[in-house]
Amino acid sequence: MRLHSWTNPTFSPLTRGILAAALLLALAGDRLFAQPPAIEQAVRQVEDRRIKATIDDDLATLEAILADDLTYGHSNGVVDTKASYLETLRSGKTKYQTIERLPSVVRVYGNTAIITGTATVGLRGQAAPFTLRYTLAYVMRDGQWRMVAWQSTRLP
């Protein structure tokens, strides 16, 4: 198989231009598409409210923040829907005592925000807190940030 070089005449001027533009966008992407700090701050505020509501068993606040089509993948492999997740909290089967969010990164892509980070979590009935690495997604719906996905992995 023969690889084509950048200067190979089989690449038309249009193709070379598209490739050059793609390369420039890839190199400058974060600077060209940086989100305004206000949006990142708004997402962080909703996430802070979600964490507080989870610890306080404030199911009304969680009901408002969690999207109806939520997929919540726990670090033990269990996957919940919004309804099943809220039921585990309502029944007391799962009780979060502490959630300490460690430094995290918020990236906003249009109406979607992705947060990656680590957190230390304490559950009722667990001998000691454990640390998670997580990715979660919020989507702007009806003027509100709604959590649509969570996936976490327990760290050793």
Q: How far apart are CA 130 and CA 118, in angstroms?
A: 10
Q: What is the pLDDT of residue 112?
A: 97
Q: Which residues does residue 138 pair with via DSSP β-bridges, in sequence order?
A: 113, 147
Strand pairing category for 96-109 and 79-80: unpaired
Residue 41, H or E segment: helix 37-56
Query: Which carries the bigger pLDDT value, residue 28 or residue 139?
Result: 139
Structure confidence by residue, pLDDT tens digits, 131-140: 999 999 999 9
| CATH topology for the 37-154 domain | Nuclear Transport Factor 2; Chain: A, (3.10.450)
Q: How far apart are CA 26 and CA 33, in angstroms?
A: 11
| 86, 59 Cβ separation under 8 angstroms | yes
Share of the chain above pLDDT 90, in %: 74
Q: What is the pLDDT of residue 127?
A: 87
Q: Quick check: 62 pLDDT over 50? A: yes
Phi, psi of 143 (to 5 degrees): 80, 10
**Average pLDDT score over residue span 99-122:** 96
